[in-house]
């Protein structure tokens, strides 16, 4: 996902494992992007990183019938009011 906020540009990519981005260093489109990154064409400064979640909290979903927030995992698709819950948004 790419985001621009003012003069800042962010690229966010989700991976299964922290080592997975290493495959990008071997060539292809990413290698071309790296060349542009280090050329004078793009930006005045930057950093890269790999962030690993320490903890992923509860994914909450709102019941469309009663408007109550429910723990998506524990509710097993059914609100305490008996209505079917919408699907939870996917985790990264």
In a domain, 44, yes or no: no
Instruction: Tell me the average pLDDT across 20-36.
Output: 81
- Residue with more model confidence, 70 or 1: 70
User: Which residue would you say has higher pLDDT here, 43 or 4?
Assistant: 4
The answer to whether residue 60 sits within a structural domain is yes
Which tens digits make up the pLDDT trace of 50-92?
A: 888 888 889 999 999 999 999 998 999 999 999 999 998 876 5
The pLDDT, as a whole number, for residue 69 is 97
Please check whether residue 70 lies inside any domain of the structure. Answer: yes
Q: Are residues 34 and 66 in the same domain?
A: no
Using CA atoms, how far apart are residues 1 and 24, in angstroms rounded to an integer?
Answer: 16
Number of structural domains (the chain) is: 2
Instruction: Tell me whether residue 50 is in a domain.
Output: no
Q: What is the pLDDT of residue 45?
A: 82
Measured CA to CA, the distance from residue 37 to residue 20 in angstroms comes to 20
Quote the CA–CA distance of 11 and 3 in Å, as a whole number.
Answer: 6
């Amino acid at each position: 996902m790419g985001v621009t906020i003012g003069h800042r540009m962010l690229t966010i990519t989700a991976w299964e494992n922290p080592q997975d981005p290493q495959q990008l260093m071997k060539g292809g489109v990413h290698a071309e992007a790296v060349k542009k990154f280090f050329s004078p064409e793009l930006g005045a400064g930057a950093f890269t990183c790999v962030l690993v979640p320490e903890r992923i909290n509860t994914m909450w979903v709102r019941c469309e019938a009663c408007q109550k927030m429910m723990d998506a995992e524990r509710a097993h698709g059914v609100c305490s009011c008996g209505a079917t819950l919408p699907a939870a948004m996917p985790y990264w």
